[in-house]
Structure 1
Amino acid sequence: MQNTAETGPADPVDVTPLLDDPHTAYAALRASGPVHRITGPDGQPAWLVTRYDDVRAALADPRLSLDKRHAAPGGYRGFALPPALDANLLNMDPPDHTRVRRLVVRAFTAGRVEALRAPVRRVADDLLDAVEPAGRADLIADYAGHLPIIVICDLLGVPRADRRDFRAWTDRLVTPDPSRPELVKQTIGDLLAYFTGLIATKRAQPGDDLLSELIAVRDTPDGTPDGAPDSGAAPGGDRLSEDELTSLAFLILFAGYENTVHLVGNAVLALLDHPEQLRALHRNPAELPNAVEEFMRFDPPGPLAIRRFPREDLDIGGVRVPAGDCVLLSVGSANRDEARFPDADRLDLARDLSGHLALGHGIHYCLGAPLARMETAVALSALIERFPGLRLDVPRASLTHRRTLRARGLISLPVTW
Structure 2
Amino acid sequence: MTSTLSWIDEITMTELERNPYPVYERLRAEAPVAFVPVLGAFVASTAEACHAIATSDDFEAIITPAGGRTFGHPAIIGVNGDIHQDLRSMVEPALQPSEVDRWIEDLVRPIARRYLEGFENDGRADLVARYCEPVSVRALGDLLGLKDVDSDTLREWFHKLSDSFTNAEVDDNGEFTNQERFAAGDAAKAEIRSIVDPLIDHWIEHPDDSAMSHWLHDGMPEGQTRDREYIYPTLYVFLLGAMQEPGHAMSSTLAGLLSRPEQFEAVVDEPGLIPRAIAEGMRWTSPIWSATARIARRDTTVSGVDIAAGTVVILSYGSANHDTGKYDAPTEYDMTRPPLPHLAFGAGNHACAGIYFANHVCRIGLEELLDTIPNLERDTNADVEFWGWGFRGPTALHVTWEV
CA distance in 2, matches of 1:377, 1:197: 34
Say which of 246, 261, 264 aligns to 1:275: 261
For 1:191, give the aligned amino acid. I
- Determine if the alignment matches structure 1 residue 158 to structure 2 residue 159: no
Equivalent residue number for residue 47 of structure 1: 42
- For each residue in 1:364-396, what CA deviation from the matched residue of structure 2 results, as whole angstroms up to 9, or x when unmatched? 111000010000111111111222221122435
- For each residue in 1:105-139, what CA deviation from the matched residue of structure 2 results, as whole angstroms up to 9, or x when unmatched? 11111122122123311211111111012111111
Q: How does 1:6-405 map to 2 (within 5 A)?
A: 12=9, 14-15=11-12, 16-40=14-38, 44-67=39-62, 76-81=65-70, 83=72, 86-114=73-101, 115-176=103-164, 180-181=180-181, 182-217=183-218, 219-220=220-221, 224=222, 226=223, 240-395=226-381, 398-402=383-387, 404-405=388-389
TM-score, structure 1 normalization: 0.84
Cα displacement (A) at 1:148: 1.3
User: Is the contact between residue 128 and residue 143 of structure 1 (CA under 8 Å) also seen in structure 2?
Assistant: yes
Task: Return 5+ residue gaps in structure 2 as ranges.
Answer: 168-177
Task: From the superposition, tell whether residues 64 and 173 of structure 1 become closer, same or farther in structure 2 (CA, over 3 Å).
Answer: same
Cα displacement (A) at 1:166: 2.5
Judge which range, 290-299 or 368-377, deviates more: 290-299
User: Is the contact between residue 246 and residue 359 of structure 2 (CA under 8 Å) also seen in structure 1?
Assistant: no
Secondary structure at 2:399's aligned position in 1? Answer: strand
Cα displacement (A) at 1:13: 5.2
User: Is the contact between residue 218 and residue 245 of structure 1 (CA under 8 Å) also seen in structure 2?
Assistant: no
CA distance in 2, matches of 1:297, 1:81: 27
For 2:256, give the aligned amino acid. A
Equivalent residue number for residue 172 of structure 2: none
For 1:259, give the aligned amino acid. E
Cα displacement (A) at 1:256: 1.8
CA distance in 1, matches of 2:137, 2:66: 28
CA distance in 2, matches of 1:179, 1:245: 25
Q: How many residues align?
A: 385
Equivalent residue number for residue 173 of structure 2: none
Secondary structure at 1:346's aligned position in 2? Answer: coil
CA distance in 2, matches of 1:348, 1:260: 19
User: Is the contact between residue 13 and residue 38 of structure 1 (CA under 8 Å) also seen in structure 2?
Assistant: no
CA distance in 2, matches of 1:286, 1:78: 38
Task: From the superposition, tell whether residues 281 and 172 of structure 1 become closer, same or farther in structure 2 (CA, over 3 Å).
Answer: same
User: Is the contact between residue 60 and residue 296 of structure 2 (CA under 8 Å) also seen in structure 1?
Assistant: yes
CA distance in 2, matches of 1:161, 1:102: 26
CA distance in 1, matches of 2:160, 2:237: 15
CA distance in 2, matches of 1:52, 1:264: 23
User: Is the contact between residue 337 and residue 344 of structure 1 (CA under 8 Å) also seen in structure 2?
Assistant: yes
Judge which range, 364-373 or 16-25, deviates more: 16-25
Cα displacement (A) at 1:414: 1.4
Cα displacement (A) at 1:30: 1.5
CA RMSD of aligned residues (A): 2.6
User: Is the contact between residue 54 and residue 348 of structure 2 (CA under 8 Å) also seen in structure 1?
Assistant: yes
CA distance in 2, matches of 1:270, 1:11: 30
- For each residue in 1:54-106, what CA deviation from the matched residue of structure 2 results, as whole angstroms up to 9, or x when unmatched? 111111123222245xx9xxxx45452475xx312111112321232133211
CA distance in 1, matches of 2:19, 2:66: 25
CA distance in 2, matches of 1:319, 1:148: 39
Task: From the superposition, tell whether residues 97 and 393 of structure 1 become closer, same or farther in structure 2 (CA, over 3 Å).
Answer: same
TM-score, structure 2 normalization: 0.87
Task: From the superposition, tell whether residues 18 and 292 of structure 1 become closer, same or farther in structure 2 (CA, over 3 Å).
Answer: same
Equivalent residue number for residue 234 of structure 1: none
For 2:124, give the aligned amino acid. R
CA distance in 1, matches of 2:66, 2:238: 23
Identity between Structure 1 and Structure 2 (%): 25
For 1:100, give the aligned amino acid. L
